Amino acid sequence: MKTIGLLIIAGLVTISCNQNPKNIDDSKQENSVAVNSVPDRDGVFIHITESYNDPHRVLMPMKMATMMAKDQDVIIYLDIHAVELLVKSAKDMQFADFESFQTYLKQLIDMKVGIYACPTCLKVAGFNPEDLLEGVQVAQKDKFFGFTKGRIITLDY
């Protein structure tokens, strides 16, 4: 008998704890949650490793970056063979129905998109940071996380 009584009391306490107090308006609670739940802008991290030997793998992500940068935070990281595209002595790249590499690069720099070259890959390829085109920077790991406040989506080419 005591057990049944304790179960009934526990159930009533649980029900009463889950009730909305009469002096709080539900519509005001919902509105305040909606105002505070605006999501942060997401970021797109694009990683390019190829160069002249596979222009499709270079120009496709550059095209995507220019489209995405209109309404998302975008950062582009080039390493391995791709760093040779970022130096002053680089020849431009063209392929099929794409704009040229340097056209995309200029558009992205004008849009304030971070374009980063791997410092080790630059060195291995025989280049120095001073050889980089204007607007291209040597990569620093803190730039990979600080460019957006939302989620980071990665596209790897």
Whether residue 70 is contained in a domain is answered as yes
Query: Residue 58: which CATH number?
Result: 3.40.1260.10
- The domain containing residue 103 runs over which residues? 43-156
Give the pLDDT confidence of 8-48 residue by residue, as tens digits: 444 444 444 445 445 545 444 444 444 556 567 778 889 99
Query: Which pLDDT does position 146 carry in this prediction?
Result: 66
Structure-block tokens of residue 128 = 């120095």
Cα dihedral angle (74, 80, 81, 85), rounded to 10 degrees?
40
Whether residue 52 is contained in a domain is answered as yes
Whether residue 50 is contained in a domain is answered as yes
Give the pLDDT confidence of 43-85 residue by residue, as tens digits: 888 999 999 999 999 999 999 999 999 988 899 999 999 999 9
49 φ, ψ (degrees, to nearest 5): -115, -20
Structure-block tokens of residue 43 = 């970021």
Whether residue 104 is contained in a domain is answered as yes
Report d(CA 75, CA 115) in Å as an integer. Answer: 6
The count of structural domains within the chain is 1
Report d(CA 11, CA 9) in Å as an integer. Answer: 5
Q: Interior CA angle at 83 toward 64 and 97, to 5°?
A: 35
Query: Which pLDDT does position 57 carry in this prediction?
Result: 97
**pTM of the entire predicted model:** 0.72
| Secondary structure letter of residue 46 according to DSSP | E
Whether 117 and 86 have beta carbons less than 8 Å apart is answered as yes
